[in-house]
């Protein structure tokens, strides 16, 4: 499916997405390129109704590789990811969305992660795309695998191994994973149970942008759309201590309904403008990263502090009114799709490297609008949860990672705890 409808989708049209429902179709593009085509599963499971819907259990928004990224050639990358909802079928989404040449893939597997770079014995599952174990991903494309019969538990680490038999070219990755993944010595090590061949640790996710599960118990997907604070910067690597992870734990209560959580945070991201380092803007990526997520029912938006910080760096005035106009666009697009959207207040940042008094005044004006306008379907007051009671322009020292901008693990837990999860859930049929 080519991204071609909706205001946000038009802005991101160069990011062509393709999926695989189980068959390979041949399309002729302007350059006569053969591509794999299809669609992502869209229906969410509803406990007590269809019971077999697809939800996004894990996600990572694609970014272009920076100067520190590893170039891969005849190597295997083993991405370690953390599920939110579990299921009995899984599909993987690989991405070459920002690549400049076709990506040749030799083999893909998924397994339960073990210690280090190893995997749990007996859990390796081969993954096919249109029935093929090896294939090419066109430049500018993302593809979805065939369903894999695999029981995945909620809140579980998985290992996705991708073997690249040739030179990978410019990698599409997610830069700040806050998770140690692995790159192997030369060769196909996708089916290795042990981790001995994986000699290089990395803290980015390479070529992987989604894990979709079929869940009989999940009501749908909550998308966390944000910047580095949603990405989890400031939390320990490998701890799965980002606030969306903590929210997933809360939503997985055994005696209550389940929602999956898709983390679509990008470090440095803004509402209004994109940058090579930090992804296309929230406005431009809203359809791809939020509205097109399988099972999406709720979106939480925590964006805007980098728009304010960029204003301080460049001298270009980014007013509260402009940020609010960006929010209004997201709200209109979400409501047009029948999806609820919740506004999160911007955290205090006095003492951060791009703090100014004028910028803080803009932040407070934005927060006042989020709290009082009624434009969002609900408000999550992260500012109130994180600020220092003794000095509300600053982050509570107990939650500060040290840079006065990003919370630490305790701060992210406090953010997740501040969310009224009942607000995210559907009404219970037959109950007052």
| pLDDT number for residue 390 | 95
Q: Rounding to the nearest 10 degrees, give the CA dihedral for residues 200, 204, 210, 214.
A: 60
Residue 172, classed as helix, strand or coil, is: strand
Question: Is a pLDDT exceeding 50 seen at residue 218?
Answer: yes
Give 34-66 pLDDT, tens digit per residue.
333 334 555 443 443 344 589 999 999 999 887
* Strands 340-344 vs 296-302: parallel, antiparallel or unpaired: parallel
> Which residues are CB-neighbours of 34 under 8 A, at least 6 positions away?
26, 27, 28, 138
pLDDT tier at 431, thresholds 50, 70, 90: very low
Q: Which fold has domain 54-210?
A: Jelly Rolls (2.60.120)
Q: How far apart are CA 43 and CA 50, in angstroms?
A: 10
In Å, what is the CA distance from 403 to each residue of 132, 228, 314?
47, 13, 21
Instruction: Select from 3.40.190.10, 3.30.70.1230, 3.40.1000.10, 3.40.50.1110 the CATH code of 217-424.
Output: 3.40.50.1110
Domain spans of the chain, in order of start: 54-210, 217-424
Given the structure tokens 């160069």, which residue do they identify? 14
pLDDT tier at 432, thresholds 50, 70, 90: very low
Mean pLDDT (the chain, rounded): 87
342 pairs with which residues across the strands? 300, 378
Q: Are 234 and 407 in contact (CB under 8 A)?
A: yes
Q: Are 269 and 278 in contact (CB under 8 A)?
A: yes
66-80, 240-254, 276-290, 319-333: least confidently modelled range: 66-80
Q: How far apart are CA 307 and CA 310, in angstroms?
A: 5
Tokens of 62: 């694609």
pLDDT tier at 8, thresholds 50, 70, 90: very low
- Helices 305-314 and 357-372: crossing angle in degrees, nearest 10, is 150
Q: Measure the N-to-C terminal CA separation of the chain; round to a whole number of Å.
A: 42
89-93, 168-172, 310-314, 389-393: least confidently modelled range: 310-314
Closest-CA residue to 181 (of 130, 227, 238): 238
Instruction: Phi first, then psi: give them for residue 187, nearest 5 degrees.
Output: 120, 170
| pLDDT number for residue 413 | 98
């Amino acid at each position: 499916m080519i991204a071609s409808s909706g205001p946000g989708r038009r802005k991101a049209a160069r990011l062509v997405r393709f999926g695989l429902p189980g068959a390979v179709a041949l399309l002729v593009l302007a350059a006569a390129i053969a591509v794999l085509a299809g669609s992502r599963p869209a229906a969410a499971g509803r406990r007590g109704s269809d019971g077999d819907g697809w939800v996004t259990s894990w996600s990572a928004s694609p970014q272009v590789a920076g100067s520190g990224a590893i170039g891969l050639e005849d190597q295997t990358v083993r991405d370690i990811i953390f599920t939110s909802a579990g299921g009995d079928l899984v599909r993987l989404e690989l991405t070459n969305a920002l690549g400049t040449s076709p990506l040749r893939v030799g083999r893909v597997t998924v397994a339960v992660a073990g210690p280090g770079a190893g995997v749990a014995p007996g859990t390796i599952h081969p993954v096919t795309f249109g029935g093929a174990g090896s294939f090419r991903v066109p430049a500018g494309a993302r593809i979805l695998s065939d369903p894999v019969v695999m029981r995945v538990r909620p809140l579980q680490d998985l290992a996705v191994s991708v073997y690249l038999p040739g030179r990978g070219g410019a990698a599409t990755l997610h830069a700040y994973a806050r998770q140690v993944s692995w790159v192997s010595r030369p060769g196909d090590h996708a089916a290795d149970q042990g981790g001995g061949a994986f000699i290089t640790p990395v803290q980015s996710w390479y070529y992987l942008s989604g894990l979709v599960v079929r869940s009989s118990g999940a009501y749908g997907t909550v998308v966390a759309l944000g910047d580095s604070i949603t990405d989890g910067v400031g939390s320990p690597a490998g701890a799965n201590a980002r606030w969306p992870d903590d929210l997933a734990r809360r939503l997985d209560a055994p005696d209550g309904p389940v929602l999956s959580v898709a983390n679509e945070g990008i470090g440095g991201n803004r509402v209004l403008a994109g940058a090579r380092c930090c992804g296309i803007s929230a406005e431009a990526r809203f359809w791809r990263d939020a509205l097109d997520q399988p099972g999406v029912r709720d979106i939480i938006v925590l964006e805007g502090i980098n728009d304010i910080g960029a204003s301080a760096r460049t001298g270009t005035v980014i007013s509260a009114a402009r940020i609010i106009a960006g929010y209004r666009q997201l709200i209109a697009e979400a409501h047009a799709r029948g999806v609820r959207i919740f506004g999160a207040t911007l955290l205090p940042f006095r003492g951060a490297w791009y703090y100014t008094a004028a910028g803080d005044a803009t932040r407070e004006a934005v927060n006042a609008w989020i709290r009082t306008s009624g434009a969002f379907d609900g408000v999550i007051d992260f500012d109130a949860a994180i600020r220092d009671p003794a000095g509300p322009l600053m982050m509570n020292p107990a939650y500060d990672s040290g840079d006065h901008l990003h919370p630490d693990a305790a701060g992210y837990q406090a953010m997740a705890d501040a969310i009224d999860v009942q607000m995210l859930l559907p009404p219970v049929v037959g109950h007052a």
